[in-house]
Chain A
Amino acid sequence: MPCPAHFVARRALGLAATLLCAAAGHAGMLEVKALQRDGKPLVGAVITASAENPALPPATPIKAIMDQVNLAFEPDVLVLPVKSSVQFPNSDVVRHQVYSFSSPHRFQLPLYRGKPYPPILFDQPGVITLGCNIHDNMLAYIVVTDAPYFGRTDSAGSWAAPAMPSGRYRVRVWHPLASEPADVEQVVQVGADRDVVQIRLTRGLKPAPLKGRPHSWEY
């Protein structure tokens, strides 16, 4: 038989733990479902969830790779927390000249096979469009975010955030083929219940880049 004092203590501890958890807010569940204008799932969309209240710091920076394989960028979209760094290794036999003139980070980087270059640091949030000055059909994006939570939608157009503090979040959807006139976003109150936020584009997608065309053909 438990000692009453011990029982009270356990209950008190349990209560304290609940209160602590609530104070830290580790109770939020968020799932985002991104849809095209016609209601089909929006696959591969970048979702960011920025904390409006309480404010949260950006996610921990990472080290990522944007390779060049068979005259194409690999992957076609990278999502990174601010202050992350990206290596451009060049796995092709030919040279490339990677550039960006997007305002969050302008750079140019000549890439020769077997000659490594130091990684590039991305310290401003925004979308960076990458091109190659020699091969015009090479196109990729780096999305740099100061949001604490981010990811890409799966084949069902869904993305589920990990456990996150309850609070108010601004959820944004970005897709390389979207042609929306303004940012696609929604402010949501995340609580203990699993919220499914549905965000739908207002315009149709642009045609996807052609696949299977030999990369050596001129643009």
Chain B
Amino acid sequence: MGILKPLVSAGLLLAMQGVRAGDFEIAIDMRAVNSDGRKSLLENGEGKLRYDADHDGVQLGRLRAAWDQPIGDVFAVHAEASVWDDDDKNPIDLTEAFVEYRPYPRAGFRSRVRLGAFYPPMSLESRALGWETPYTITPSAISTWIGEEVRTIGLEGQVDWLGTRLGHDFDFQFTGAVFGWNDPAGTQLAAHGFAFHDRQTTLFGRVGDYQSNPILAKKELFCEMDHRPGYYVGAQARYLDRAVLNVLHYDNRADPTVFEASIRDFAWLTKFDAAALRYETGNGWTVLVQELDGQTTIAPGGMLLDWKYDSQSALVAKRLGAHMLAARYDLFEVTFLDNPSLPGSEDGHAWTLAYSWDRGDHWRLAAEWLRVTSDVKSRSAWLGEPSLAIESKVEISARYVFNGSF
């Protein structure tokens, strides 16, 4: 995280020179929850949901403040801070903070460079402000995992060919990045598998509650341990404003033999391939399919331990004016390759049904039913519970967004 603080400070300093007016956005999202979920992974349990049976009732979903500050015409600082009102380290923390260089397009090509902390471009679902999904309250298993464990803290370059601005039907985009400070990515997949929650891990925080068991990892994800940068490369093709196909190959190039005592965790060598396709029709239908396939490895004492994971998701949504209905099906699987019957292996599926209503520019009301069926080996191994669990919840969300320029 060493790079981030000076970067953000520099951004703030530049911004305070009063170069240009910045844009801000503040959003409060309140929830009413009824859940029969097992003790949540955020409470160091083996449940798949953000709110377990002990967290019924009214909750703060997220209080979010975003700030976009231009520096001259082609540079801008963007920062996202959130309050989640749970047991994380910090009461308020950043999920993203970066400086962006975005020169004007020339002859159909545009380049873009981001430096700081941000999400890799892979989720066609998390397209709303604050890396949220507009279709449901809870994102897919794939997006949940990215929000939980993956963040680019580094440098990303992107080149767009803006064909639609030249009279063609397609745009293309190519992305590449080098990053550090994400060596623990994978630790949560091996520990509790995939999950379904909108609780993005903050840059200086951890995944949920403090882990008091001294032999278990502290669940702090954004840490550089082996001084080996990771990379990803991706491509995107867009057909008019209707269809988007996105592919990404990610490799954090962690040295799996490295152990970092301060966070009680290994460097997890994590690689994955992700693909997503979204198609929208003129009469309000959206179809979105996603696939993630990867492997994560640690080598305590030189002994390689490998987990394979994959998830697929299919969503269908229909907009009717300001109203939207969405249905999603998720499949997920983690396999501890050395012994699939040992903790670390799981498989499951989930159904999500959601309704949302954008009431004017500021209000969004949503309701969601979610049911996860999962067979998690660590439930029986660690907790003595049946490994199979069916968890469901009903959640209502009321969000108010306030934005402006200063």
Contacts and interface: CB of A to CB of B under 8 A. Distances in A.
Given A101-B107, A210-B280, A210-B282, A113 B405 contact: yes
Contacts of A210: 241-242, 280, 282
Interface string A175-219: 000010000000000000000000000000011111111101111
Interface string A91-129: 001110101011000001010111100000000000001
Interface string A47-81: 00000000000000000000000100000000000
Contact of A209 (B102, B134, B241): B241
Given A101-B108, A219-B241, A94 B23 contact: yes
B45 interface: no
B162 A131 contact: yes
A212 to B, nearest CB: 6
A85 interface: no
Given A94-B405, A213-B319, A217-B127, A99 B105 contact: yes
A121 B129 CA distance: 36
A115 B102 CA distance: 21
B169 A101 contact: no
Interface string B99-119: 000101111101000000000
A139 B164 CA distance: 9
Contacts, number: 82
Contacts of B166: 129
Contact of A93 (B105, B164, B282, B405): B405
B238 interface: yes
A213 B282 CA distance: 10
Contacts of A134: 102
B23 A93 contact: yes
B129 A95 contact: no
Contacts of B128: 214, 216-218
B284 A212 contact: yes
Contacts of A216: 128-129
B45 to A, nearest CB: 33
Interface in B117-174: 127-129, 134, 162, 164-167, 169
Interface in A131-187: 131, 133-134, 137, 139, 179
Contacts of B339: none
A206 B169 contact: yes
Given A94-B403, A113-B405, A207 B106 contact: no
A207 B23 contact: no
Contacts of B319: 212-213
A99 B164 contact: no
Nearest to B242: A207
B23 A101 contact: no
B20 interface: yes
A216 B169 CA distance: 23
Interface centre among A114, A211, A213 (most CB of B within 10 A): A213
B21 interface: yes
Contacts of A213: 280, 319
Contacts of A131: 105, 162, 165
B290 to A, nearest CB: 15
Contacts of B167: 129
A102 B105 CA distance: 11
A207 B242 CA distance: 8
B51 to A, nearest CB: 26
A163 to B, nearest CB: 35
A21 B284 CA distance: 56
Contacts of B107: 101
Contacts of A207: 240, 242, 282
B174 to A, nearest CB: 15
Contact of B21 (A101, A113, A137): A113
Contacts of B73: 97, 108, 110
Contact of B240 (A112, A206, A217): A206
B384 interface: no
B214 interface: no
A213 to B, nearest CB: 7
A131 B70 CA distance: 18
A129 B242 CA distance: 19
Contacts of A70: 361
Interface string B23-43: 100000000000000000000
Contacts of B20: 95, 112
B58 to A, nearest CB: 26
21 contacts: A93-B403, A93-B404, A94-B68, A95-B20, A99-B105, A101-B105, A101-B106, A131-B165, A133-B102, A134-B102, A207-B282, A208-B282, A209-B240, A209-B241, A210-B242, A211-B282, A213-B280, A214-B134, A214-B358, A217-B128, A217-B134
Given A93-B404, A210-B280, 14 more contacts: A93-B405, A99-B104, A101-B105, A102-B165, A108-B73, A113-B405, A131-B165, A133-B105, A206-B169, A207-B240, A208-B282, A210-B241, A211-B282, A218-B128
Interface of B: 20-21, 23, 68, 70, 73, 102, 104-108, 110, 127-129, 134, 162, 164-167, 169, 238, 240-242, 244, 280, 282, 284, 319, 321, 358, 361, 403-405
Minimum-distance CB pairs A-B, first 4: A218-B127, A108-B104, A94-B23, A99-B104
